[in-house]
């Protein structure tokens, strides 16, 4: 067993060293990038941030390939094994990561209801009495963003449907009296596409902070740094 583990770690370290040697390339030019970058991000991040960066990537680095992956169940383990080049997650999760990271942008929680719903405003009691669609990203049974803060109210929501991505949330409440709590930026996009309305959340929780993290061995990699800088620049413009 020890020999298998030793062999694994030797191979792992050699892989990390090989990838890190890219940082030694002189005279870096984005147009010469011909490698693939794996990016773990929710469909929220893809729609709000990464999609806005794609025209820049296409124009300045047409040979680059992005492999965008939804957060896997073992996202921290995958990251620690060096299988991810960039990880975009809320700050409360990234605090466990002992690798470089930077804040991208902020967002606030809002509620989304069907256009046919009679709900125009919500008290906390009404909010907790309603049936909820819940968005859970990553591991099964993981905590949603709002569930980090709701326990202070002493009651749990009645969750009748759970989905592991954002883009279907609006469709799951259409024609019902159900409600979904989600990030304001994507909620405003959904209002443009579906018969749903935004209602102010009846609670005050700290804003969502989206963070981008990457393995330490890639910190000085000029190609990786260029990708990071583009995403940071786009994030600042949101």
Q: What is the DSSP letter of 26?
A: S
Q: Are residues 153 and 75 in the same domain?
A: no
Q: Are residues 140 and 199 in the same domain?
A: yes
Q: Cβ distance 54 to 24 under 8 Å?
A: no
Q: Are residues 125 and 200 in the same domain?
A: yes
Whichever domain contains 42, its CATH number is 3.40.190.10
Task: Reply yes or no on whether the pLDDT at 150 is more than 90.
Answer: no
Q: Are residues 80 and 37 in the same domain?
A: yes
Within-domain flag for 225: yes
**CA gap 226, 60 in Å, rounded:** 11
Tens-digit pLDDT profile for residues 198-207: 999 998 878 8
Task: Reply yes or no on whether the pLDDT at 11 is more than 90.
Answer: no
**CA gap 133, 158 in Å, rounded:** 9
The answer to which of 112-116, 121-125, 137-141, 171-175 has the lowest mean pLDDT is 137-141
Task: Reply yes or no on whether the pLDDT at 3 is more than 80.
Answer: no
Q: Are residues 200 and 119 in the same domain?
A: yes
Within-domain flag for 215: yes
Q: Are residues 87 and 75 in the same domain?
A: yes
Within-domain flag for 185: yes
Please, what is the average pLDDT of the chain?
84
Q: Are residues 100 and 214 in the same domain?
A: yes
Within-domain flag for 20: no
Confidence of residue 95 (pLDDT cuts 50, 70, 90): confident
Mean pLDDT in residue range 98-126: 93
**CA gap 59, 50 in Å, rounded:** 15
Range of the domain at 41: 29-106+209-237
Share of the chain above pLDDT 90, in %: 58
What's the token pair of residue 137?
A: 């990203």
Task: Reply yes or no on whether the pLDDT at 141 is more than 60.
Answer: no
Within-domain flag for 12: no
Within-domain flag for 180: yes
- Total domain count for the chain? 2
Within-domain flag for 46: yes
Q: Are residues 122 and 47 in the same domain?
A: no
Q: Are residues 83 and 41 in the same domain?
A: yes
Within-domain flag for 11: no
**pLDDT value of position 75:** 76
Q: Are residues 49 and 91 in the same domain?
A: yes
Q: What share of the chain is helix, strand, coil (3-state, %, to 5)?
A: 40, 25, 35
């Amino acid at each position: 067993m020890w020999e298998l583990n030793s062999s694994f770690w030797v191979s792992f370290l050699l892989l990390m060293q090989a990838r890190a040697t890219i940082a030694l390339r002189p005279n870096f030019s984005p147009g010469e990038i011909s490698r693939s970058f794996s990016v773990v991000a929710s469909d929220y991040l893809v729609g709000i941030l990464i999609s806005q960066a794609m025209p820049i990537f296409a124009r300045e680095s047409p040979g680059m390939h992005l492999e965008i992956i939804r957060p896997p169940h073992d996202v921290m383990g995958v990251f620690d094994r060096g299988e991810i080049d960039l990880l975009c997650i809320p700050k409360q999760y990234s605090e466990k990561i002992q690798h470089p990271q930077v804040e991208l942008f902020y967002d606030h929680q809002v509620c989304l209801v069907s256009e046919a719903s009679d709900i125009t405003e919500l008290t906390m009691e009404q909010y907790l009495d309603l049936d909820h669609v819940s968005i859970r990203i990553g591991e099964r049974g993981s905590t949603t963003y709002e569930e980090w803060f709701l326990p202070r109210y002493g009651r749990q929501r009645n969750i009748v449907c759970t989905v592991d991505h954002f883009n279907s949330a609006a469709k799951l409440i259409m024609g019902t009296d159900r409600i979904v709590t989600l990030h304001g930026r994507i909620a405003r996009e959904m209002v443009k596409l579906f018969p749903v309305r935004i209602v102010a959340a009846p609670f005050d929780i700290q804003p969502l902070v989206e963070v981008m993290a990457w393995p330490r061995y890639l910190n000085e990699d000029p190609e990786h740094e260029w990708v990071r800088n583009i995403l940071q620049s786009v994030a600042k413009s949101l």
